[in-house]
Structure 1
Amino acid sequence: MKKIIIASLLYFGLAHAQVAGTPYILQSVPSGNYVLDAVSQTPSIAVSVRKLSKNYTGYCIQVRRSNDGATRDIGFDANGNLDTATLLSFIGANDGYVRIWYDQSGNGKNLTQITSIYQPKIVMAGTLVTSNGQPFIAFYAVPSSTVYNHMDVSGASIAVNAQVIVVNKFGSITGSDGFLLGDYTYFYWHSRPSTNLFHSSFTSSSVYNGTLYINGVATSPSVAPFHTSLKTISLAPQIPNTGTEWNVIGRDRTSHHTSNGGGYSEIISFPVSITTNEREQIEFNQKNYFNL
């Protein structure tokens, strides 16, 4: 009997990991392979609407319910997808806003927004917000208004970016705006809204002269379009620690806010270079998962 009890306790300890701050909620240790498992380098930040690494045992997002302001951490299902069943059950017929988008890199670089009017949406009137059939964090505000959606990087800025891979889109309504990544001080990732992903005059030289792939296809940053359908944007800046800094998504300084239904599904940034094969594997995985 003693052996059985010990074996059961060992199994329980190996099969589950308790998340700090949630004494009564257990997150299952994931099984299977995830997109970052075969990558040799650890990212500076990795946020997504799905699980990215078998080593990550935390939550995906923290959401706020519109009718009463209650919040809840939402994890993943057994397949590593966002636990939409729990999410929709909690939100009910209301709107669901993203308060925290948890960093899966282990570096604690969560994307956060504690001010309600600035929070992006994940559920609208009880219906999951999606893009290409997968959950999507939507920035729905009107351009250049005083009320816009954005999420800040916890702690210090992401100052060194050797390889950035982002799954996002900009709003399709006339007058939409937004930068791929933003900053409260700089405009290193400056776009030319409605025409170009990067601005020839204002984008930093490190970004503008970087190596860019869109959905896995090599593209010059000088001709990359301001995309209004979901894409995987993979950019290796020319100089990783010069002119690549960012600390917010959804806004840049006091204008150029992502708006009119634009938003994000996944953001991964590495502080050092990854191999061509690793980049291609990530892009291929993203194209399949997000139906690009």
Structure 2
Amino acid sequence: MWADDIDGAGLLVQDPTADLVLRSAVVVPVRSGEDRLGTLVLCSNAAEQPNDMLSVMLSGIAAQFGQHLQRRRAEGLALLLARSRHEYVRLVGHELRTPLTSIAACTDLLCAFGDELPGDARELLEAVTRNSDRLRHIINALLDLAALDSGHVVLHRTTFDLAVAVRHATAGPFERQVHVRSDTPDALLVDADETRIREVLRALVGNAVTYSHPGGDVTVTLTTTAGHACLTVTDTGIGIPPDELDEVFERFQRSSRVRDLGIPGLGLSLATSRAVLDRHQGTITLHETRGGGVTAEVRLPLHPL
């Protein structure tokens, strides 16, 4: 909307003796799709007639404002959602730990009388113990991931040989009949949290083995480039649909092929691996392997950035 005579239109009360008296104005809506987020108002101390070229330019500027505001709003909502999710996970985790501790104490006492229990009771006790341990593992994994995401985990950096860690992770034994081989330099020193990086290695190699066909191949390669250790874990397994390669990094998110085949798992290992590498200023990506399967690529700085 153009106003080439602010005083005549009665849009603004001004002191005519002031050093600056506004004569004209243009108002441009700031939109995001069909929603109006606000208005951009520009005033001039000279009489300005409607100008098509200027209108187009101001509309473009308003559109840029709208996109920026929408991004900021989305970022704020995402941050609020992440914070709420972390608080929920932490609360649920702590609340579940208390009854689990009681269950574990009771099963330990019953196990002390294992020889005196009838056969059916022993089997039931073993089932309770087994599932309690599994639930405890899930809770600990969730709390650990929440702590990593929130930045509350302190990294204990040391200098260690990543090549040795890779060879250890690929040594097995593995439950599935899969051929696992590694190609590493004799030594490759990195400054990182060794325990956490070994967890990432076990998770990636374990996933590659789990999702490979019997008799399949898993190849782990370690190189260096531009101050980074570059690790690739390639399998010839069931693969991941292209549109799900990023989604599987979300907690509890597993590929549709894994769900269809009924392969057990929590869907936390990739989320935790990415969180660990983020804390090391590293990265992890997935892409399809030619001929089937998936390749996981990890870049880890040799020294803290």
The reply to whether TM is greater than 0.5 is no
Which has the larger helix fraction?
2
* TM-score normalised over the length of structure 2: 0.27
Specify which structure has the bigger relative contact order, considering alpha-carbon pairs within 8 angstroms and separated by 6 or more residues: 1
User: Which is greater in Rg?
Assistant: 2
